[in-house]
Each structure stands twice: as structure tokens, then as C-alpha cells.
């Protein structure tokens, strides 16, 4: 599949999800996660910030009014149409070819975006456009380790068939270091998610949702332990999902 064909698949998927996206996961509007990202970014009132794959502006809103400028970039009109209140400026475009000069920003962020990109190219671009000493902060769901990787990757694939990349913490570390990032650290953040709510993203059918439930019900002891899976008497399933927050300096 060519890049243009794949991007069309991504746009179609997120167009279907756009109206529901902000309510599709607890982490979408988690103020504690937003505060942690702001803290790790090192942002202050003088910072110029770029939010790659800004979507509906859920990361941008953390920075709006607290920095000198927050700029968003995305490829899905139905998503970024909702981001306007959270941005000072918007540019349409892909993360792999950011339309900005070198050293344009103090901070570059991207949450859950590189899983739909040529991630190595996108992260190289993030480090290209951040100034020397500035910070790149990329946040992605991660498997805990090899013991839960296969089952969790299948859960993520079922929920989002447009996804092309799956991560463990060390993958983020490697991508940053290959892009020239300095002082790279990957921080943990745990998000508690109701699997029925999380899987109901309005872009997949009930067969995929039931496939996700089946993995949680019948998963290995390692998978269930790592994710601290809780299954209530009424069948509701709770997962403790791991985010890796990778931070590196340009």
C-alpha cells in the first residue's frame, strides 16, 4: 500500500471516530496525564509548541494560554475541525514531512500519532524542527514487556485496524536515539480503562469488540497480571493500560 493509500485509510478511520473521539477513552481527557506531559515538556510562557497529529486538540488544550504559541498539524479534517479553540495556528500536513524550517519550536509533542505513521521518519522530523536543547515528547500506549506483547498487540489491532506500529518502552527509546535525541527518558503513566467503553470507538464492528473481550476473558496469566485485569460479575472489564512518555532533547 502506498503512503497516500495508507493515509486515506487513516483519514477514513478517524473521520468515523471524530464526533466520538473525545469520549472514546478515559485518557483522552485525563487532566493528570495532561499535567504530566506539560511538566515533562518543560514548557513556559515563552515556549513555541508544535502538536503533531493534533486531532481534536486534546493535547493542545493543555498548552493553550500557557505558552507563547501552540501550533497543530494533522491530516484528518473531521478531527482537526474541532481543535480550533485549542490552537493559535493550524497547518494541514503529515507528520513525516513537517512543513516548518529547522529549529522552529521549543517543544514538539505527539500523542498516539506515530502509530499511524512512518514513525522513524516522523520522529526525525520532530527533532529537526525542535531547537537545540528543546524537547520532543511522544506519548504512546505500550505493552509492558514480552510476556503481554502478543496479546496486547492483538487487542490494539482489533480496536484500530488502521494502526501500523505497536510499541514497548524500548522501541520509543530506540526511535528517539536514532533520530539524534539526547538525554532520552521514557516515563510510565497508567490509565485505567473500561474496555467496553474503550472498544466502542464507532469505527469497528461488534465482532472486533467481542474479539477484544475474548482476549481479556481468556488471556494468559501474564497478560492479565501485567494489565491488572478486573472482570466484574456483570461482565465489565477494566484494564490498566501503560503509556510510555518518551522525552528527549534536540
Give the model confidence (pLDDT) of 59-88 as tens digits. 999 999 999 999 999 988 887 888 999 999
pLDDT for res 10: 66
pLDDT for res 18: 67
pLDDT for res 9: 73
Could you give the count of Cα atoms lying within 13 Å of 102 in the half-sphere of its Cβ? 3
pLDDT for res 239: 98
- Residue ranges of the chain whose pLDDT lies below 70: 10-11, 18, 22
pLDDT for res 129: 98
pTM for the complete prediction? 0.94
pLDDT for res 188: 98
Let me know if 97 is exposed, middle or buried by CB neighbors in 10 A (0-12, 13-18, 19+): exposed
Amino acid at each position: 500500500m502506498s503512503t497516500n493509500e495508507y493515509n486515506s485509510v487513516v483519514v477514513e478511520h478517524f473521520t468515523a471516530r471524530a464526533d466520538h473521539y473525545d469520549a472514546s477513552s478515559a485518557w483522552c481527557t485525563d487532566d493528570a496525564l495532561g499535567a504530566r506531559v506539560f511538566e515533562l515538556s518543560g514548557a513556559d510562557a515563552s515556549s513555541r509548541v508544535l502538536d503533531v497529529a493534533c486531532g481534536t486538540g486534546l493535547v493542545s488544550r493543555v498548552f493553550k494560554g500557557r505558552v507563547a504559541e501552540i501550533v497543530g498539524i494533522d491530516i484528518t479534517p473531521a478531527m482537526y475541525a474541532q481543535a480550533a479553540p485549542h490552537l493559535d495556528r493550524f497547518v494541514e500536513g503529515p507528520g513525516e514531512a513537517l512543513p516548518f524550517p529547522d529549529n522552529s519550536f521549543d517543544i514538539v509533542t505527539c500523542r498516539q500519532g506515530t502509530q499511524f505513521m512512518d514513525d522513524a521518519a516522523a520522529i526525525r522530523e520532530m527533532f529537526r524542527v525542535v531547537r537545540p536543547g528543546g524537547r520532543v515528547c511522544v506519548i504512546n500506549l505500550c505493552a509492558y514487556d514480552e510476556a503481554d506483547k502478543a496479546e496486547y498487540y492483538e487487542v490494539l489491532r482489533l480496536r484500530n485496524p488502521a494502526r501500523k506500529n505497536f510499541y514497548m518502552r524500548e522501541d520509543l527509546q530506540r526511535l528517539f536515539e536514532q533520530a539524534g535525541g539526547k538525554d532520552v527518558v521514557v516515563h510510565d503513566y497508567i490509565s485505567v480503562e473500561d474496555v467496553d467503553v474503550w472498544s466502542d470507538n464507532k469505527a469497528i464492528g461488534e465482532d472486533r469488540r467481542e474479539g477484544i473481550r475474548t482476549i481479556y476473558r481468556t488471556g494468559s496469566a501474564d497478560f492479565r497480571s501485567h494489565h491488572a485485569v478486573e472482570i466484574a460479575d456483570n461482565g465489565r472489564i477494566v484494564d490498566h493500560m501503560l503509556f510510555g512518555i518518551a522525552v528527549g532533547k534536540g
